[in-house]
Amino acid sequence: MSMCVVGSINADLTVNVERHPTPGETLLGSGGGITAGGKGANQAVAAAKLGTPVVMVGATGNDANADPATAILREAGVDMRHVEEVEDVTGLAVITVAANGENTVLVVPGANALVGAEFVDRHADAVETAELVLLQGEIPADGFARAVELARGRVVVNLAPVVDVPRKSLLAADPLMANEHEAGLILEQLGLDGAGTPEELARRLLDAGFASVVLTLGSAGALVATAEELTHIDSPKVEAVDTVGAGDSFAGAFCHRILEGDSMADAAAFASRVGAFSVTRPGAQPSYPSVGDELPEL
């Protein structure tokens, strides 16, 4: 069963530091290499490496970063026929990784800013024929909304970063996937209280009209919420090396298992193991497991 990701493609510039700098401070770091990234591309690669047929709808620039940004997408077998090269720079993420594995990310949208409604319309067949359409927050709101309108299959939304998108389009998510911070911002976007425990946030999102919600809680696992029940999902205990892209690996793995017929709770349990695998290796896409890799146990 096929999956279409309408989203961002970035080149990741990663710098390793002992700790994150304070405002006005200069620190020496290491690294500086370009690797493949972008939330859309990351999630596409995560699913494709696990065996799901994935079509990518997105854009790269006509600069030197386009090839490294798409290299792992191609290696993973993602269908790239709906990725356009445009007259702009390829999206760029500048990532700082501290010794404890925590990261900060600055994103320059570049070509991703052109993936609007007209762009998505040019690739309508890829969206309409997919069994599942996965969206994030790194493309324009009108492109996001148009992809939802065109989708005939299941729509999964990981609204990261949290941007202002049409309420109707957002509520089409089944599930809405977010971390605790993002869940609070989404609730505030809907005019609701964004404070509370994960359980309170999840219930409030359900009350707002979402069919289902998956909250990722980092090393604490995840929370799957439906009208019937809240299910806590544990995460394997691992030593984190780099948390960049861990949430994206969870999203891609979750969709992979949903398309294989898993319940949401089972899909989230599998995705939690994939996320734990990814943080034990540096980088985003290079850290994702392939079919046959041994995942950490819960």
Strand, helix or coil at 117? helix
* pLDDT score, position 63: 95
CA angle at residue 51 from 286 to 53, to 5 degrees? 105
Tell whether the model's pLDDT for residue 84 goes beyond 80: yes
Q: Are 148 and 155 in contact (CB under 8 A)?
A: yes
281 appears as a binding residue in the annotation: yes
* Average pLDDT across the chain, whole number: 95
Tell whether the model's pLDDT for residue 174 goes beyond 80: yes
Q: How confident is the model at residue 104 (pLDDT cuts 50, 70, 90)?
A: confident
Domain 3-9+38-88+110-279 grouped into CATH 3.40.1190.20 = yes
* pLDDT score, position 268: 97
Q: Which tokens hold the place of 78?
A: 């993602």
Q: How confident is the model at residue 82 (pLDDT cuts 50, 70, 90)?
A: very high
Q: Computed from CA positions of residues 79, 260, 134, 109, in that sequence, does the dihedral angle turn out positive or negative? A: negative
Is 248 a known active-site residue?
yes
Mean per-residue pLDDT for 93-107?
A: 85
Domain spans in the chain, listed from the N-terminal domain onward: 3-9+38-88+110-279
Mean per-residue pLDDT for 135-164?
A: 97
Mean per-residue pLDDT for 61-89?
A: 97
Q: How far apart are CA 121 and CA 59, in angstroms?
A: 14
Tell whether the model's pLDDT for residue 1 goes beyond 80: no
Q: How far apart are CA 253 and CA 232, in angstroms?
A: 17
Name the residue among 2, 35, 13, 94 with its Cα closest to residue 285: 35
Q: How far apart are CA 270 and CA 289, in angstroms?
A: 12
Q: How far apart are CA 268 and CA 231, in angstroms?
A: 10
244 appears as a binding residue in the annotation: yes
Q: How far apart are CA 255 and CA 6, in angstroms?
A: 14
Global pTM reads 0.92
216 appears as a binding residue in the annotation: yes
Strand partners, 99: none
Name the residue among 278, 226, 220, 282 with its Cα closest to residue 251: 278
Contacts of 183 (CB under 8 A, 6+ apart): 194, 198, 201, 202, 205, 213, 215
* pLDDT score, position 247: 94
Tell whether the model's pLDDT for residue 188 goes beyond 80: yes
* pLDDT score, position 76: 97
Whether the link from the prior residue into 175 is cis, omega within 30° of 0, is yes
Catalytic hit among 248, 262, 266, 293: 248
46 appears as a binding residue in the annotation: no
Q: What does the pLDDT look like over 234-249, one tens digit per residue?
A: 999 998 888 888 999 9
Of 66-70, 82-86, 242-246, 258-262, where does mean pLDDT reach its minimum?
Answer: 242-246
Mean per-residue pLDDT for 48-63?
A: 98
Q: Which tokens hold the place of 96?
A: 């700082």
Mean per-residue pLDDT for 290-294?
A: 93
Q: How far apart are CA 15 and CA 31, in angstroms?
A: 5
127 appears as a binding residue in the annotation: no
Contacts of 278 (CB under 8 A, 6+ apart): 245, 246, 249, 284, 287, 288, 289
Mean per-residue pLDDT for 186-209?
A: 97
62 appears as a binding residue in the annotation: no
Pick the residue with more confidence: 211 or 243?
A: 211
* pLDDT score, position 241: 85
Mean per-residue pLDDT for 165-174?
A: 98
Type of residue found at 198? P
242 appears as a binding residue in the annotation: yes
Q: How far apart are CA 8 and CA 111, in angstroms?
A: 8
